[in-house]
Chain A
Amino acid sequence: MRLQLSDLIYLSPELTLVIAAVVISVLDLVLPNKINRTILGWLSILSLMISAGFVLYYMRLLNLSEDPLLPVELLNLSYRVDDFANLFKLIFLVGTIFVLFMSIGSIKKEEIQHRGEYYYLFLPATLGAMIMASSGDLITLYVGLELLSITSYILVGIKKSSVKSNEASFKYVVIGGIASAFILYGMSFLYGMTGSTNLTEINQALQLSDGSFALLIYVSFFLIIAGLGTKIAAAPFHAWAADVYQGAATPVTAYLATVSKAAGFAMIFRLVYLVYLGVGGQQQDPIFLDFFMIILIIAASAMIIGNTLALKQRNMKRLLAYSGVANAGYLLVPIGIGLHSPVPHSSNFSEMYFYLIAYLFMNLGAFAVLMAIERTTGNSELKGFAGLYYRAPFTAFAFVIILLSLAGLPVTGGFIGKVFILLGALQVKVYWIAIIMILTSVISFYYYFSVIRQMFMRTNFEASTDKLNLTTPISITIWISTAITVLLGFFPNYVISYVHEIFNLFTDFLML
């Protein structure tokens, strides 16, 4: 099947970003130096919004009540425009829009000299994430992953004159490169066993194969999950996260913590449920049940290690990095509980998706507050929050709501998201993971509340008595994030029922 010119309209969300990235980079080249590069930031946001508009348009077309568009499959099934991809693309685009928005006027000229580059590099990174969500083929999946990874290496090192930023960036290149090599090595075995790079064809070939490939199937799964575990920073593959988050500019850190991580989850979901589900199904104990078990073990270790290591952090960025490790664990639970149990369970995706939305806005809000603190004190130490309540009561109030949501206390989006994941685990009777989840959430209260204690209890703050250095975009980001976190807590059923309505794991995704 060749790509027809008329098929290109289905790629309009991606093509918008491609064209915008090219045009904006040329603009950056030809515009005279005296023109403020902020205009490029606004143009990038505009192109992301247009792209999101196209995604919404195709989401509507796919779900018309009469005569809906069938999921589009391009380039010999290697690129799909389906509800799964569109839902993830919305998360990526909204996340990137907010990351760019809070950087405008907030990033310091002396830190990031090339602000034009800084703004438009987010476009190819998001494009890579979108390709990852849409791929139905190992090659496109890998190209998307590398487009996202390589661009984020550059973004982490964009503070060219800062040693810390250089070092974080180099560490990210090395760890990211090794992780890519692992994923690729696992993919090469998948190709070798089946002779195909298409995900559904691989799955069919693996289901039909006899037991002689069992060892190779295990090897490929271990290699791929180790590589992807590194990309989403799940323990025990999390060691890079704290260093890289600390060295990168704060908006870039927010991008890594939200969009980049969500893209990793899109890829894991596709691989686990399209390639590995049902493998070895004819035997007594099918192999793929072991794979779900492995994912749950990684989830458990991420929750335990992330929450314990966060306890001793004195730097807010490192604390949020370990909190991100723990959250990667929570998000892996719906993937790992699988579909096969005494009770039929198929809401894995909506559980994960809801918590992903909540996680996106909690983190955007937290990093926006951190940016304001960094602008005031010049570093991201925890003691910079001392007495925040007395300096900026409204920001402190919003931040308390975001922290409560991160800790998972009612009534916030984070709480409802965790409850959904927990109920899913209980429904399929995987009790041990539910117990670990509850216990580690209790541990996490300690470090989230130590931040709140800093804000309210410490009045003899030595850090700074200055007024908090807020910019308008940062305040708007903080308040929108807080509002959405609260709204998700009070009206979760709208999101859940919408996702349920348009996405069915069995009919839309597995094509049974």
Chain B
Amino acid sequence: MISSYLTLAAVLFVIGLYGALSKKNAVIVLLCIELMLNAVNLNLIAFAKFGINPSLKGQIFSLFNITIAAAEAAVGIAILIALYRNKATANVTEMNSLKK
């Protein structure tokens, strides 16, 4: 039972990582990071229900994660808006003004 949940979480995590590293649109990159964080939540909930030591702590941990992920997404989008105002692009390949 638990292995299928863990596999799903691992697949979501890897899809998120792939997207965060390869997508060009900055909004998609932020979404993919959310996907990675939510994969972790799935993992925690699965362990909290079907793990060797089922306990409420996993669910509480995931509640904290949801809150923090929301804060992080808000800050990320705010920074992206500030960047878009100055540069009028949301394409990550064009964010290359910092070079040696």
Q: Smallest distance from the beta carbon of B78 to chain A beta carbons, Å?
A: 8
Considering the chains assembled together, what is the distance between the CA atoms of A161 and B53 in angstroms? Answer: 52
| A246-B75 CB under 8 A given contacts A138-B61, A163-B86 | no
* Interface pair A142/B55, CB less than 8 Å apart: no
Cβ 8 A contact of B100, one of A139, A166, A173, A318? A318
Considering the chains assembled together, what is the distance between the CA atoms of A181 and B33 in angstroms? Answer: 8
Which residues of chain B are within 8 angstroms of A395 by Cβ–Cβ distance?
A: none
Contact with B along A245-272 (1 / 0, CB 8 A): 0110000000000000000000000000
Cβ 8 A contact of A188, one of B20, B33, B47? B47
Which residues of chain A are within 8 angstroms of B47 by Cβ–Cβ distance?
A: 188, 191-192, 195
Contact with A along B43-71 (1 / 0, CB 8 A): 11011000111110110110011001001
Cβ 8 A contact of B16, one of A162, A170, A181, A188? A181
Flag the segment in A278-286, A309-317, A364-372, A435-443 that touches B: A309-317
| A170-B98 CB under 8 A given contacts A139-B61, A180-B37, A188-B47 | no
Cβ 8 A contact of B55, one of A168, A187, A195, A247? A195
Q: Smallest distance from the beta carbon of A111 to chain B beta carbons, Å?
A: 13
A374 CB-CB contact with B under 8 Å: no
* Interface pair A170/B83, CB less than 8 Å apart: yes
Considering the chains assembled together, what is the distance between the CA atoms of A357 and B57 in angstroms? Answer: 37
* Interface pair A163/B97, CB less than 8 Å apart: yes
A464 CB-CB contact with B under 8 Å: no
Considering the chains assembled together, what is the distance between the CA atoms of A181 and B30 in angstroms? Answer: 12
Q: How many residues of B contact A (CB 8 A)?
A: 42
Q: Smallest distance from the beta carbon of A104 to chain B beta carbons, Å?
A: 25
Q: Smallest distance from the beta carbon of A87 to chain B beta carbons, Å?
A: 27
Which residues of chain B are within 8 angstroms of A178 by Cβ–Cβ distance?
A: 17, 20, 33, 36
Shortest Cβ distance from B62 into A: residue: A188
Considering the chains assembled together, what is the distance between the CA atoms of A243 and B44 in angstroms? Answer: 34
List chain B positions with a Cβ less than 8 A from chain A: 13, 16-17, 20, 26, 29-30, 33, 36-37, 39-40, 43-44, 46-47, 51-55, 57-58, 60-61, 64-65, 68, 71-72, 75-76, 79-80, 82-83, 86-87, 95, 97-98, 100
List chain A positions with a Cβ less than 8 A from chain B: 138-139, 142-143, 146, 149-150, 153-154, 157, 160-164, 166-171, 173-174, 177-178, 180-181, 184-185, 187-189, 191-197, 205, 242-243, 246-247, 312-315, 318
Given contacts A177-B36, A192-B44, A192-B46, 15 further A-B contacts (CB under 8 A): A142-B65, A143-B68, A149-B72, A153-B79, A163-B83, A164-B97, A167-B97, A173-B30, A177-B37, A178-B20, A180-B72, A181-B33, A185-B39, A191-B58, A242-B98
14 A-B pairs with CB atoms under 8 Å apart are A139-B60, A167-B95, A169-B79, A170-B83, A185-B36, A188-B47, A188-B58, A191-B58, A192-B51, A194-B53, A195-B47, A197-B61, A242-B100, A313-B100
